[in-house]
């Protein structure tokens, strides 16, 4: 091997080793349906102007996992399951719902940690809202369930 090639390889190796500890590589992530999830832009979640459930906000940048969503209404109570996925810091989804749901007349009745997820229960009229927020590597998953009391 020539001296120039050896020098180039050594320099490239040192540069890559030095870069590993200082360069943050962005995570490219997809939801369970294969839809691209845009990279988050900072700490905290913001309410989407067009939520799929009018009185349960959805964070901007999160996408519904269509294969895991359904909605049924019997005239009194909704039966809903929605799953949203997106980028969030640990705890952001829990804070987002605690901050936004009271303005939609939901009352917190219970919050608990279950494994690596946080489960929140809210009530409004004849309905119970259960939100499970799970922080994962590169992708956070929020599961929304609405049912009768």
User: Which pLDDT value is given to residue 33?
Assistant: 72
What are the structural domains of the chain?
Answer: 29-148 (3.40.1000)
User: Which pLDDT value is given to residue 7?
Assistant: 58
User: Which pLDDT value is given to residue 74?
Assistant: 87
What are the pLDDT tens digits along the chain (149 aa)? 566 555 555 555 444 544 444 444 445 567 777 776 666 555 679 999 999 999 999 999 999 999 999 999 988 899 999 999 998 888 999 999 999 999 999 999 999 999 989 999 999 999 999 999 998 877 899 999 999 98
Residue 105 burial class via C-beta count within 10 angstroms: exposed 0-12, middle 13-18, buried 19 and up: exposed
Strand locations in 24-106 (E): 29-30, 36-37, 63-64, 70-73, 78-86
How far is 7 from 9, CA to CA, in rounded Å? 6
User: Which pLDDT value is given to residue 92?
Assistant: 92
- The neighbouring-strand residues paired with 119 are 112, 132
DSSP state of 59: B
User: Which pLDDT value is given to residue 4?
Assistant: 59
Q: With contact defined as beta carbons under 8 Å apart, do 37 and 140 qualify?
A: no
User: Which pLDDT value is given to residue 43?
Assistant: 63
Whether the model pTM is above 0.85 = no
User: Which pLDDT value is given to residue 85?
Assistant: 95
């Amino acid at each position: 091997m020539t001296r120039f090639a050896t020098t180039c390889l050594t320099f490239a190796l040192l540069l890559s080793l030095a870069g590993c500890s200082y360069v943050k590589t962005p995570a490219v992530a997809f939801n369970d349906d294969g839809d691209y999830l845009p990279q988050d832009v900072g700490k905290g979640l913001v309410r989407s102007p067009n939520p799929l459930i009018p009185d349960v906000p959805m964070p901007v940048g999160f996408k519904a996992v269509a294969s895991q969503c359904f909605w049924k209404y019997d005239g009194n109570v909704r039966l809903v399951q929605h799953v949203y996925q997106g980028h969030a810091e640990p705890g952001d989804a829990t804070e987002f719902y605690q901050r936004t749901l009271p303005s939609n007349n939901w009352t917190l009745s219970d919050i608990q940690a279950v494994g690596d997820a946080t489960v929140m229960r809210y009530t409004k009229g004849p309905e119970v809202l259960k939100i499970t927020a799970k922080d994962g590597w590169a992708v956070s998953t929020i599961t929304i369930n609405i049912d009768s009391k």
